[in-house]
Chains A and B, each alone.
Chain A
Amino acid sequence: MSDIRLQSNDDDDVVRGLRSLYAAPSGDAYWNELEARIMARVADVELGWWTELDRWVRPALGAAAILLVAAGIAMFRARQAEADIAADSMLSSPAVPVSTAIRPALQDDREARIRFLFGR
């Protein structure tokens, strides 16, 4: 019985002692200041996003403009090259004339059909 009482008293002492050791600061001023410090750090984070974004906007826009100009030049050159090739191919004479290459085949085919229809 006395053991139980002693144990209970010890526990009470422990809890009392712990509470006094771990007591949170009292007074609203302390907590208001802590809140202000926390919110200042939060504001830094929020601001950090925007400043970070702002820091990257100009270089990003510059890079985009350079890419756009480079792409424009590349497209212009590609079209120019295509036009040159087309002009060259039109001016240069083909090795075998188209008419002589196709006509015999067409004629043969047509004659074969006529013979097939009327020659029975």
Chain B
Amino acid sequence: MTAASTIELSYGMPSAPDARPDERALVIAAQRGNSEAFATLVRNHQRRAYAVCRAIVLTHEDAEDAVQEGFLHAFKALDRFLPDQPFGAWLFRIMANASLDLVRRRKVRDADELPETVPMPFRDPGESDELRRRLNQALTKLTERQRSVIVLHDVEGFTHGEIGAMLGIPEGTARSDLHHARAALRRILKDVRSDL
């Protein structure tokens, strides 16, 4: 049994990633070139990393790409990470940056292609529920940042401070983005109710 798998077994039940006492040991092992330790870090954080990316990019496929890019960046920058810092917060900042880069690249590409119709941002084949359809539409009307903030806060449960750190904006801005996003979505849902 390798050192990394021993560490993994000692975790016990899953909890918040940064609360794991052996996270630091895993990070140090990964910094020393133990790829199994890095694989364990990937395993422990990939779902949350996906959620962060998914909140920022438009599609599931882009979120997958961003997660892979993010982990690659993290691997390359691992020797610069201080093991006493919370690994999750550091990793999610990288994930957010990878996602924002991807969004920027997509924007440039889309501007070059000049599509005739505005694509629906969320892959949801066979969706017939009116509420979800309207919600989908409403989300396209929010700014990218507002959409990211509301998803990170209301769906993923990140705090305003964490969201601010991830997206590189002040905590107050994250708070006000959330307020505006909620108000906009609420308005649209109210219209749906009155239509039904």
Contact = CB atoms under 8 A, between A and B. Distances in A.
B138 to A, nearest CB: 9
A34 B64 contact: yes
A105 interface: no
Secondary structure type dominating chain B contacts: helix
A24 B132 contact: no
Contacts of A80: none
A15 B124 CA distance: 17
Interface string B139-170: 10000000000110011000000000000000
Q: Of B50, B155, B185, B190, which is in contact with the most chain A CB atoms at under 10 Å from its CB?
A: B155
B35 A42 contact: yes
Contact of B55 (A10, A14, A17, A22): A22
Interface residues of B, number: 36
A35 B151 contact: no
Interface string A49-91: 0000000000000000000000000000000000000000000
B189 A13 contact: yes
Contact of A21 (B35, B64, B136, B189): B136
A18 B71 contact: no
B68 A37 contact: yes
B151 A18 contact: yes
B186 A20 contact: no
A19 B132 CA distance: 11
Most B-side CB within 10 Å, residue of A11, A13, A25 = A13
A2 to B, nearest CB: 13
B131 interface: yes
A17 B131 contact: yes
Contacts of B39: 35, 39
Nearest to B192: A13
B11 interface: no
A120 to B, nearest CB: 85
Contacts of A111: none
B186 A7 contact: yes
B195 to A, nearest CB: 14
A49 B76 CA distance: 11
Interface stretch (B2-10, B41-49, B79-87, B107-115): B41-49
Which of B76, B151, B186 has the most chain A CB atoms inside 10 A of its CB?
B186
Interface in B172-196: 182, 185-186, 189-190, 193
A15 B64 contact: no
A32 to B, nearest CB: 9
A102 B135 CA distance: 110
B122 interface: yes
B25 interface: no
B92 interface: no
Contact of B154 (A10, A14, A37): A14
Given A21-B135, A22-B55, 12 more contacts: A13-B189, A14-B154, A15-B155, A21-B136, A22-B54, A24-B47, A31-B47, A34-B64, A37-B68, A39-B39, A41-B71, A45-B72
